[in-house]
Amino acid sequence: MDYPEKTVLAAFELYSQLAANGSVMKEGFAHLYSDEDVRSLAQLFAGHVNCTIIDDADAIYLIPLATMSPFHMTNEQIKKDFLRAGATNLDMYLMYLAIIVFVGCFYDSYTSFEPHDFVTLESWLDKMNERIDALAARSETDLRQAETDLSVNWVALIRKWTDLDSIKETAKRQDRTTSRMAFLLATKRFLEAQGLLHDNGADEYSLTEKAKTIFTSYYLEERYNRSITDFLYSLDHPAAAAKEE
């Protein structure tokens, strides 16, 4: 489709601002974003760098979709900025699991698009322990099959979480311990830095509007992510899961 030069320039202006800042307020770009051709062309630009453009009531966001995107944060950068010294890729995968569980705390195991107002650090920890316990209760054969199907090393993740020192959960400086709670606090800092989590104080956290938009408009509809969450939450109903297989 051929676009008028004015439309191309308008779409590039929108895309370039998103590329530079990661997001823009709708108020300042309403004259551009209201044009369907501008939105479509800007989305095309984003697709060429493995990104997508989404929006909520107040803002427009450029979201990387693949590790090869120049806007994607590398594993090394995440480990350096948010995890303890010596962190490995397994720590990264455990953080990813912790994020899935965190989102699940709001969305009733991914069955509702209306999130709860907030979750506490303690309830997040409880839910994480529940998920790991449910995983550990499955047979090694089931876990190995799930590893093959989903490319996730469930056995190693169980061991990694189990090895974290639960005795230190009451330490005053969790950032200096290797406890499970300290790991969740590191994950919390990552989510907060990405504008996905709001710290309400008193160890209560809520999702930002950006997070709600990403999780409901993209993440929960992405087949691979859904297959992982479906497996995680099918652990509550093993008989039903076995029947489906």
What is the average pLDDT value for the chain, to the nearest integer?
80
**What pLDDT band is residue 150 in, cutting at 50, 70 and 90?**
low
Greater confidence (208 vs 227) lies with 208
Q: Which pLDDT tens digit goes with each residue over 161-182? A: 998 876 555 555 545 457 899 9
How far is CA 241 from each of CA 47, 105, 232, rounded to the nearest angstrom? 36, 21, 11
Q: Which pLDDT tens digit goes with each residue over 67-76? A: 656 656 788 8
Number of helices (H), then strands (E), belonging to the chain: the values are: 12, 6
C-alpha to C-alpha distance for 203 and 193, rounded to whole angstroms: 17
Question: What ranges do the domains of the chain cover?
Answer: 5-64, 75-244
Determine the length of the chain: 245
Instruction: Say yes or no to pLDDT of 129 above 90.
Output: yes
C-alpha to C-alpha distance for 22 and 63, rounded to whole angstroms: 8
**What pLDDT band is residue 11 in, cutting at 50, 70 and 90?**
very high
What mean pLDDT comes out for the span 46-66?
87
Q: What is the per-residue pLDDT for 145? A: 78
C-alpha to C-alpha distance for 204 and 188, rounded to whole angstroms: 11
199 SS3 class: strand
149 SS3 class: helix
The pTM of this model reads: 0.77
Q: Which pLDDT tens digit goes with each residue over 197-218? A: 999 999 999 999 888 887 776 6
Give which of 126, 163, 158 is closest to 143, Cα–Cα: 158
Buried b or exposed e, range 130-167, using 16+ CB within 10 angstroms = ebbeebeebeeebbeebeeeeebbbeebbebbeebeee
| Tally of CB atoms within 10 A around 59 | 20
* Structural tokens at position 235: 């652990």
Q: Which of the residue ranges 2-6, 28-32, 118-122, 174-178 would you say has the lowest mean pLDDT?
A: 174-178
What mean pLDDT comes out for the span 55-61?
89
Looking at the structure, give the CATH architecture of the domain made up of residues 5-64. Answer: Orthogonal Bundle (1.10)
